[in-house]
Amino acid sequence: MNGFLPSGSTRLFPVVGDPIAQVRSPGAITRILERRGIDAAVVPMHVAQADLPRLFDTLLAVRNLDGLLVTIPHKHAAVFACATLTEGAAFVGAVNVVRRAPSGWHGDNTDGRGYVDGLAQNGFAVIGKRVLLVGAGGAGSAIALEMLERGAAQVLIHDRDETRRDALIAKLAERFPGGVTRGSADPSGFDLVANATPMGMQPSDPLPVDVSRLQSSQFVACAVTKPEVPPLITEARRRGCRTMTGAGMFDAQAEILTDFLLEEDMKTAYRGTC
């Protein structure tokens, strides 16, 4: 048999989620690690939210385990399992990856970078552009922050939860005065229309924007990975728009996550007994 097989010296990077069967990182990131010549694997761990703090704490004692990936619904709870956070993760209040650091787990959030890198790889640069972003949750916060940091001219944010929307706008406005304000479901006039909500995963979901107003000059992106082509993307393509699906975001993100997991502070701290 060819290909990857674990050995006694394989290092582990679990991905924690609930459910877990849908995650693509075990295959995709294990393959990237192998391509980089590293004997390590991403393996799934299906765990309920209430068990997350204990799991993170216990896994600090596993010496060949230097980091974890975090997926739905644990990205928020994982913040509290971290000893330190990157500025971006602290701003967003959500973590999608942690690695071993001297004081415990060090958490980051790469969702924004993955999304904006994915857009760039699909031919859309955010610098100087007007963006309508739907969703002010963890993913939306990370994406909005990253777009503004990379020079988007203006980001308008739309969310049915108005309290959440206004809180995110207020936080972003402190750092980017004039760069962010309220949006609506009307996509008219934007260079980019970006969905960062789960809307589109269920057949009964409403569309995140009024697709009848889309123009072929607009770029439309959607973070949903299942179905592979969600309804927003189908409608956008029907109107001649360029598009990016959740897979585009995922592919860009996989390399970013691998880089973070392999960074150098990872082998220095063991809370477990030596």
CB of 200 to its own copies, least distance (A): 20
Residue 157 DSSP SS3: strand
Q: What is the DSSP letter of 128?
A: T
- Strand pairing report for 180-182 and 104-108: unpaired
Q: How far apart are CA 19 and CA 252, in angstroms?
A: 23
CB of 56 to its own copies, least distance (A): 10
Element (H, E) at 12: strand 11-17
- 17-to-44, 48, 88, 260 alpha-carbon distances in Å: 8, 8, 21, 19
Q: What is the DSSP letter of 205?
A: P
CB of 115 to its own copies, least distance (A): 21
Beta carbon nearer to its own copies, 31 or 150: 31
Residue closest to 194 by CA, chosen among 253, 251, 116: 116
Residue 17 DSSP SS3: strand
Q: How far apart are CA 164 and CA 190, in angstroms?
A: 22
Beta carbon nearer to its own copies, 15 or 192: 15
List CB contacts of 237: < 8 A, sequence separation 6 or more. Answer: 243
Q: How many helices (H) does the chain have, and how many strands (E)?
A: 8, 12
Beta carbon nearer to its own copies, 61 or 201: 61
Beta carbon nearer to its own copies, 63 or 175: 63
Residue among 75, 129, 171, 226 flagged as catalytic: 75
CB of 31 to its own copies, least distance (A): 7
Beta carbon nearer to its own copies, 7 or 163: 7
Beta carbon nearer to its own copies, 154 or 258: 258
CB of 20 to its own copies, least distance (A): 6
Q: How far apart are CA 108 and CA 96, in angstroms?
A: 6
CB of 80 to its own copies, least distance (A): 16
User: Active-site residue 267, yes or no?
Assistant: no
State the residues that interact with its own copies by CB under 8 A: 1-10, 12, 15, 20-27, 30-31, 34, 41-51, 54-55, 58-59, 61-65, 272-274
The amino acid occupying position 247 is A
Show which residues are catalytic.
Answer: 75
